[in-house]
Chains A and B, each alone.
Chain A
Amino acid sequence: MKLKTFTSGIFENNPVMKQVLGLCPALAVTTSAINGIAMGLATTAVLIGSNTVVSLVNNLIPTKVRIPSYIVIIASFVTVVDLVMNAYVHDLHKVLGLFIPLIVVNCVVLGRAESFASKNGLLESLTDAFGTGFGFTLALFVLGAVREVLGNGSVMGFDLFGSGFKPSIVMILPPGAFIALGFLMVGYKYLDERKRVKRGGV
C-alpha cells in the first residue's frame, strides 16, 4: 500500500509522461541534464512542504476557500526555495532563474494538494510527495539528458563525442524540447502497452 503510493508517482502516474502536467518547466529548463535535476528537486522540495502542510491543516480550512489557501501555502514554500537557492546555489539559480517562481503555478503541486493531500493523512501525503517529486525529477532528467546529448554532445557537462561531433542545435532550442518529449512519450507509452499486453490485457 505504502510502496504503491510511492511508485505510482514514478511510473503509472508520472506527472510529465502520463498526467502531462507541469510541462512549462519540463520543456523550458531541460536544456541539460543538470538543469532538469535541479528543477525537479526544487519542485520536489515544494511538493513535500505543501503536501505536508495541506494534509495537516486540511480539516481547518473551509471547502470554499481551499484553493486560495493551498495557493498561499504553495507560494510560501516556493518563495522559501527561491531565496534559499539564490543564497546557496547561486549559479544554478541564475540558470533556472525565472522558472523557480513559476513552480507556484505548476499544476503538479496544486494537483497533488487537491487530489491527494487533502484526502489523506500526513504519512501517505509525504510518501506521495516523494514519489511524485521523484517521478517529476526523473522525467526532467531524462528529457534534459536526451537534449543535452543530441544538442550539445555532452551529458552532465562531460563531452561524449569529441570535437568531430556536430550537435544539432535545434535540440537545445525550444522546438527540441517538444520533439524530444514527443519521442520520450512514445517510448513510455510503448513500454506501458507492452506491459499491459503481457499481463493479458487486450
Chain B
Amino acid sequence: MKDSPFKMVLVLTIITTISALILAFVYAGTKDQIAEAYRQDFLKGLKVVLPGFENAPDTEFKEMKGYKVYIGKKGGEVFGYAVRAVSPKGYSGDIAVLVGVDTKGDILGIQILKHAETPGLGNKIEFKEWRDTFVGLDKSDNIAVKKDNGIIDEFSGATISPRAVCEAVNTGLDILSRFTVGGEK
C-alpha cells in the first residue's frame, strides 16, 4: 500500500484530535479534585502553624504589601495570624515557610511549604523537632543560627538551609507584627 502524503496528514490529524478530546475530558473530570488536593495540602500546613483553628483561614485573609495574612479563629475569636514568607537564600532555590503567631506575637509554629534542599542534609529543616525550636519565640528574640550568634541550632554540614529558614521566619514576623499586640510601631 502506498502512503500518500494526504493520508499521513489525515491520520496524524485524527490521532491528535482524539487525543485532545480525551485529554479535555480527563482534565475537566479531575480539575476540581486537583484544586481540592492543593487546598488540603495548604490547610495541612496551616494546621501546624495555627493549631486548632475552627474557621477556614485559607479563605479568611487580609492583603498586606502583596502578602496574604491568614487569620485563625477559635470560637469566633481571633487567636493567631499566619503568613507565607520566602527566602531566596536556600542551598538550591527558594525556601517557602509558613509562619504562625498568636495575638501577642509569639510563634505558634512554622512549616516548610517548599524547598529543594539536599536530602539527608538541608532537608532536616522539615523535621518537627527542629521546627519546634521556633515555637514561643517572638520578634525580640535573636532568630538566627548559632554560627551567626543566634539561638537556632544549625545542622552539622548544613548551615545554609537553616539560615535561609531563619531569614524567612524574620520576614514573616516583620509582616505579622503589624497585626499583633504592640505592632504598628
Binding site for B on A (CB under 8 A): 31, 57, 60-65, 68-69, 72-73, 75-76, 79-80, 83-84, 86-88, 90, 94, 151-152, 167, 169, 172-173
A80-B26, A87-B33, A173-B120 known; 10 other A-B pairs, CB under 8 Å? A61-B15, A72-B12, A76-B23, A79-B26, A80-B23, A83-B27, A83-B34, A86-B34, A169-B120, A172-B119
Q: Is B181 an interface residue (CB 8 A)?
A: no
**B residues less than 8 Å from A173 (CB atoms):** 118-120
- CB of B112, distance to nearest CB on chain A (Å): 13
On whether the beta carbons of A87 and B3 are closer than 8 Å, the reply is no
On whether the beta carbons of A62 and B7 are closer than 8 Å, the reply is yes
Known: A63-B3, A151-B120, A169-B120. Is A69-B11 also a contact (CB below 8 A)? yes
On whether the beta carbons of A65 and B11 are closer than 8 Å, the reply is yes
On whether the beta carbons of B16 and A72 are closer than 8 Å, the reply is yes
**B residues less than 8 Å from A61 (CB atoms):** 11, 15
**Residue among B16, B26, B40, B41 making CB contact with A83, cutoff 8 Å:** B26
**A residues less than 8 Å from B55 (CB atoms):** none
- Chain A interface SS verdict (over half): helix
On whether the beta carbons of A80 and B22 are closer than 8 Å, the reply is yes
On whether the beta carbons of B121 and A169 are closer than 8 Å, the reply is yes
**Residue among B19, B34, B120 making CB contact with A87, cutoff 8 Å:** B34
Binding site for A on B (CB under 8 A): 3, 7-8, 11-12, 15-16, 19, 22-23, 26-27, 30, 33-34, 37-38, 40-41, 118-121
Known: A64-B3, A83-B26, A173-B118. Is A73-B15 also a contact (CB below 8 A)? yes
Known: A62-B8, A69-B15, A172-B119. Is A76-B22 also a contact (CB below 8 A)? yes
On whether the beta carbons of B22 and A65 are closer than 8 Å, the reply is no
**Residue among B8, B30, B41 making CB contact with A65, cutoff 8 Å:** B8
**B residues less than 8 Å from A69 (CB atoms):** 11-12, 15
Known: A61-B11, A69-B12, A73-B15. Is A90-B26 also a contact (CB below 8 A)? no
Q: How far is the CA of A83 from the CA of B26 in the complex (A)?
A: 8
Q: How far is the CA of A65 from the CA of B16 in the complex (A)?
A: 13
The number of inter-chain residue pairs (CB within 8 angstroms) is 65
- List 8 contacting pairs A-B, 8 Å CB cutoff, sorted by A: A62-B3, A64-B8, A72-B19, A73-B19, A80-B22, A87-B30, A87-B34, A167-B120
Known: A64-B8, A90-B37. Is A172-B120 also a contact (CB below 8 A)? yes
Q: How far is the CA of A169 from the CA of B3 in the complex (A)?
A: 56
**Residue among B7, B15, B23, B41 making CB contact with A90, cutoff 8 Å:** B41
**Residue among A60, A87, A172 making CB contact with B11, cutoff 8 Å:** A60
**A residues less than 8 Å from B15 (CB atoms):** 57, 61, 69, 72-73
**Which 6 residue pairs are nearest across A and B when measured between Cβ atoms?**
A169-B120, A62-B3, A87-B33, A90-B37, A76-B19, A87-B30
**A residues less than 8 Å from B16 (CB atoms):** 72
**B residues less than 8 Å from A83 (CB atoms):** 26-27, 30, 34
Residue among A60, A61, A62, A151 with most chain B CB within 10 A: A62
**A residues less than 8 Å from B11 (CB atoms):** 60-62, 65, 69
**B residues less than 8 Å from A86 (CB atoms):** 30, 34, 37
**A residues less than 8 Å from B119 (CB atoms):** 31, 169, 172-173
